[in-house]
Structure 1
C-alpha cells in the first residue's frame, strides 16, 4: 500500500513539473508574439506616415487609408490604425 501511494505522489509531482514547464514556454512565446505584434503595428504607422509625407499633406489635413488615418498638424503626423493604436511621428527629413 505504501509503494502505490508513493508511486502516485511521485507521478503527480512529475505531471505538475511538466505542466510548469509547458506553462513557462507558453508565457515565453506569448510575450514574443506580443512584442512582434507591436513592432508590426509601429511599422504600419511608419508606412502610413511615409505615404502621407509623399502626398505632401498640409496642416490639419487628414489622409484616410484602408489600414488607418494620418493627420498632419504642426510638423507632426498623428497616425491612428484601424485596430485603435495611435502613434505620433515626426517628419522624415
Structure 2
C-alpha cells in the first residue's frame, strides 16, 4: 500500500508542476505580446512626431532632417522616416 500512495503522490506532484508551469508560460506569452504591441505603438508615435517636426521645418524634395532617434526624408510628396532600430514608416503631409 505504501508504494501505491507514493506513486499517486508523485503523479499528483508532477501534474501540479505541469499545470502551474503551463499557467506561468501562458502569462509570460501574454505579457510579451503586450510589450511588443506597446513597443510598436511607441515607434509609430515617434515616427509621427518626427514627421510633424519635419513638416514644421518645411522640408523640400530630397531634404533630410536628422534626430537622435532617426531621420526624416521628404521624397515625392511623402515623409519617409527611418528609426535607429531599423523600422521604416512613410507618411503623407497633413494639412
TM-score by length of 2: 0.96
Name the structure 2 match of 1:6. Answer: 8
Name the structure 2 match of 1:49. Answer: 51
Structure 1 runs (4+) greater than 2 angstroms displaced: none
Unpaired runs of 5+ residues, structure 1, are none
Unpaired runs of 5+ residues, structure 2, are none
Q: CA deviation at 1:75?
A: 1.2
Q: CA deviation at 1:63?
A: 0.6
After superposition, the C-alpha distances for 1:6-39 in whole angstroms (9 at most, x for unaligned) are 1001110011000000000100000000000000
Which of residues 53, 57, 60 in structure 2 aligns to 1:58?
Answer: 60
Name the structure 1 match of 2:26. Answer: 24
Cα root mean square deviation, aligned: 0.5
Q: Does 1:76 align with 2:66?
A: no
